[in-house]
């Protein structure tokens, strides 16, 4: 058995995160680097943020590479995976974090708006999981995949019908791929965050923050580190017999009665 002190030692592991230029994605990249992993991540537009993520990781004495990629496009996903393989020679862990979170009323939502949210949150997860899983199968040593969903995948929020549906799809895609990929010792799990703090959220949405704090038993908003820690656990040997599960990380807000 792995000694408890070694359970979260990711030395010699290679991590790929989609959407690592800020927020939850950056928190995941940095936490895994702290645990010893070599890090690769994608970004779509925020190159300055991507460079900041690299600087933070290099400040820890670890290496990081990034790729500009639209992970809703299969050819760009293939190129991203090829770049990681060229730099590190393997991929052990994938975190599908890329997502978008717009508000839109269902009755007036355009098909284009629906499709954009589905592509960014769900299609990207399919494309990246497929590409990396095939690479892991070729490597022959298993691997771990975590998909970032949301509590809205099981508890819908207003003005988010496209996002709610996409995240519900991520949760079921996780279960489906866990079922198919287990034979290759590839574990697939989901983390479903609640409301996560970001710069300026208290000023931009004070009533929402207050409602959350009143509803959550642990009273505070989540932080990127809270999600990173859940990913660290699910991809570690501590979770070696866990696959196909959805881990809710929400400060307990989903414990409230719904009627």
Q: Which residues are catalytic?
A: 163
Taking the C-alpha atoms of residue 225 and residue 248, their distance in angstroms, rounded to an integer, is: 14
∠ at Cα 26 (202, 57), nearest 5°? 130
Residues 6+ apart with CB under 8 A from 223: 27, 196, 197
∠ at Cα 175 (150, 133), nearest 5°? 100
Element (H, E) at 28: helix 23-34
Contact between residue 68 and residue 42 where contact means Cβ atoms under 8 Å apart: yes
Which has the closest alpha carbon to 129: 67, 74, 202? Answer: 74
Contact between residue 238 and residue 144 where contact means Cβ atoms under 8 Å apart: no
């Amino acid at each position: 058995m792995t000694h408890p002190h070694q359970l979260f030692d990711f030395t010699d592991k290679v991590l790929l995160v989609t959407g690592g230029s800020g927020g939850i994605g950056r928190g995941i990249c940095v936490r895994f680097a702290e645990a010893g992993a070599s890090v690769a991540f994608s970004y779509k537009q925020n190159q300055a943020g991507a460079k900041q993520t690299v600087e933070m990781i290099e400040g820890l004495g670890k290496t990081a590479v990034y790729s500009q990629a639209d992970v809703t496009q299969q050819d760009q996903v293939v190129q991203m995976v090829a770049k990681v393989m060229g730099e590190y020679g393997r991929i052990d862990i994938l975190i599908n974090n890329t997502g978008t979170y717009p508000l839109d009323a269902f009755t007036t939502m355009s098909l284009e708006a629906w499709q954009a949210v589905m592509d960014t949150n769900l299609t990207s997860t399919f494309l990246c999981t497929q590409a990396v899983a095939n690479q892991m199968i070729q490597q022959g040593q298993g691997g771990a995949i975590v998909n970032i969903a949301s509590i809205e995948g099981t508890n819908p929020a207003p003005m988010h019908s496209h996002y709610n549906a996409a995240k519900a799809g991520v949760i079921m895609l996780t279960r489906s791929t866990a079922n198919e990929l287990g034979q290759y010792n590839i574990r697939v799990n989901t983390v479903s965050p609640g409301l996560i703090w970001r710069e300026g959220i208290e000023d931009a949405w004070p009533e929402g923050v207050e409602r959350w704090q009143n509803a959550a038993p642990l009273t505070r908003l989540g932080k990127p580190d809270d999600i990173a820690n859940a990913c660290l656990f699910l991809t570690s040997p501590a979770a070696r017999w866990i696959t196909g599960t959805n881990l809710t990380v929400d400060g307990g807000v989903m414990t409230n009665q719904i009627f």
